[in-house]
Every structure is written in structure tokens, then in C-alpha cells.
Amino acid sequence: MRWHPWLALTVLLSLGSLAWQLHAAPVTPTAPPAAPATGATAAAPTGAAQTTSAPTTNPAPPAAKTTGAAAATPAPAAPAAQAQAPKRHPIRPDVLLAYWIGVVVLAAVLVWLARTTALLRDRGNGTPWSLGRTQMAWWFFFVVASFVFIWLATGNYASLSNSVLALIGISSGTALAGAVIDDGKQSQMQQRPLLEAEQNRLQQANQKLAPAPAPGVAAPAVNLADIPMLQANLSSLSAIATQLAQIPSPQKLRQSFWLDILSDENGISFHRFQIVIWTLVLTVIFVWKVKTASQMPDFDPKLLGLMGISSGTYIGFKFPEKQA
């Protein structure tokens, strides 16, 4: 099997982007201390002055007391999100070197398995690349690399967010649904030899019942007793031809990683293209959030819904495809 360099180039670019954005990232500043409750301090003398100046026979109205209480309310505390922001500490050079060696080893193992096994392919070596499996492996790599980096930088090992779990679930569900659809089409393709054998048998039987005339010779008369059999065979041949037309054919191997994941039976398709684009966009946001905030992003539900719609559209278009 010929190894196309685009896959290796993609992994190398991803590693370079992750290294450039995560290495020597600025330390997240701690939340500033809360301002002193100057309102309460200023309100207390004012209330005391009003009480002293007022006559003993005419006490202050209740509204004045309420106003003094409102003025004495302390300033609001700092937001909880700022107070709980992860604190980064410098990573030792030897630990950072070991981390990047581990990331490179993980990427190399994924590339090696993708090249030598069916890890990212639909059905074994020599078959086209799978979009669903590639997306699942893509998020697996970035989530693992980011998780370990956040743990080394902050000591936090609970950095997985609900959005990250949703992304992994969407990619895994897409790959699983695609595999189920392809397995169903493979079962249909296994019926092709049986249908073709039955088709040949019926055609040979019709040739015996009504042999084709030789060139320049008149067609022999058909025995009236064989006419019902001929009609039954012709009806069966028509049904077999309809079934053969509905059976998918093996998907073309284009010897190109990008063409395999972007193309269906009619060439490059938009529903595959939009999944690739949105995956790259969310990856940039994902890496940038890890770099600036030392935590995995919590994507907007609408953005995750858009990703789910793109994956659902891809699954929907796989049903009528005539390739498997």
C-alpha cells in the first residue's frame, strides 16, 4: 500500500501548532484582593451624626434607617470563576522535555498504526480512509496531549469539561454509526455472487427453452408447454436485476488521504467537507483555550449542536450511497 505524505504532514503541523501555542504560555494572574468595605465604614459615622443632631422627641423615620442599612452593605465579592482559576507554575525543563517526547511518541504510534493496520480505515489495509475514525483519533490525540499538559502545569487532573466529553461522544458516535452502515452494506454485497449465479442459471435455462437462432436461420418455434416456464424465468430475472442495481459496490481507493475522507461515490461532497472544516475550527479554539487559561474549553451548546448536525448530516448521506 502506498503511503501518502499528507497524513504525516497533517500530524506534524498539528504537533507544531500545539507546541508553539502551549510552550512558554503566560501564567494566569491570580484574582485581585477584594476592595475593603468602605461603604459600611462611611455609613456608620453618617448614621451616628444624624442620630445625634436629631431631637429626642422626633426620632428618625424608618426610611432613614433603611437607607443607612443599604449604604452599609459591603461590596460584592470577586466572581467565583476568578477565585477558582487554575494557578500555573513553571514546568521543569526535564519534565517538559519528557512531555514533548511522549507527545511525539504518541503521534508516531498513531501514524504507524494508521499505516500498518485498519485503525483509521473502513475495512482493513488497502481500503479507503474513514472520516469518522479519523475524527475520533484526532480528538483523542489533542485531548490526551492537553490533559497531560494541564496536569503538569497546574496539578489539576479534573480538567475534562462537559464540552470535551460531548465532542468525544459526537466523534465516537459518528464513527460507530458509519461502521454500522458500512457493515450493513457489506452484508448486501455478499449477496451479489449468489444473485449473479442465479441470474446465469435462469439465462441458461431460457436458452434451452428458447434457443437463439443462428445467423440467417429462422427462429425455431417455442413449445407451448415451455411458455409458462419462460415467463417465470423472465420475471425472476427482472427481480434479480432490480436487486443487483440496489447492491452497493466497493468504494474506490484514491490513494489520497484527503480525497478518501472528503469524497463519496460522486466525488468530493459538501457534507464531508463541512465536518473537516468545523473540526479544524474547534481544534484551534480548543488549543487556544488550553494555552491562555490552562483549562479545556467549555463550548457554547449551539456550537456543539452545529457539530452534531454536521455529523448527523454525514450519517444521513451515507445511507443512500452506493459504495461501502
207, three cell numbers: 436458452
231 shares its domain with 138: no
pLDDT of residue 233: 83
Distance of CA 136 to the CA centre of its chain: 6
- Does residue 25 sit within a domain? no
Quote the mean pLDDT of the chain.
75
Distance of CA 131 to the CA centre of its chain: 10
- Does residue 271 sit within a domain? yes
Model confidence, pTM? 0.62
267 shares its domain with 159: yes
Average pLDDT over residues 143-149: 93
233 shares its domain with 139: no
Res 152 pLDDT > 50 = yes
With contact defined as beta carbons under 8 Å apart, do 130 and 175 qualify? yes
- Does residue 289 sit within a domain? yes
184 shares its domain with 106: yes
172 shares its domain with 272: yes
- Does residue 32 sit within a domain? no
Domain residues for 236? 192-210+223-246
- Does residue 216 sit within a domain? no
- Does residue 291 sit within a domain? yes
Give the model confidence (pLDDT) of 263-283 as tens digits: 887 788 898 999 999 999 999
pLDDT of residue 283: 93
Res 212 pLDDT > 60 = yes
161 shares its domain with 241: no
User: What percent of the chain lies above the pLDDT cut of 70?
Assistant: 69
Res 217 pLDDT > 90 = no
Distance CA 262, CA 259 (A): 5
pLDDT of residue 292: 86
89, three cell numbers: 507554575
180 shares its domain with 294: yes
pLDDT of residue 85: 55
Look at 14 and 257; give whichever has higher pLDDT: 257
Residues 6+ apart with CB under 8 A from 5: none
- Does residue 146 sit within a domain? yes
pLDDT of residue 107: 94
Give the model confidence (pLDDT) of 9-18 as tens digits: 444 445 454 4
Give the model confidence (pLDDT) of 13-43 as tens digits: 454 544 444 444 444 444 444 554 444 433 3
133 shares its domain with 235: no
With contact defined as beta carbons under 8 Å apart, do 77 and 36 qualify? no
Look at 29 and 152; give whichever has higher pLDDT: 152
- Does residue 78 sit within a domain? no
116 shares its domain with 133: yes
183 shares its domain with 282: yes
User: What percent of the chain lies above the pLDDT cut of 90?
Assistant: 21
Give the model confidence (pLDDT) of 220-256 as tens digits: 666 766 778 888 888 888 898 888 888 887 777 777 8
User: Identity (one letter) of the amino acid at 186?
Assistant: Q
Task: Please name which of 275, 251, 115, 269 lies closest in space to residue 181, comparing C-alpha atoms.
Answer: 251
Average pLDDT over residues 202-217: 75
198 shares its domain with 236: yes
Distance CA 112, CA 11 (A): 12
With contact defined as beta carbons under 8 Å apart, do 146 and 50 qualify? no
Q: pLDDT grade, residue 110 (50/70/90)?
A: very high
Structural domain count, the chain: 2
pLDDT of residue 53: 41
234 shares its domain with 272: no
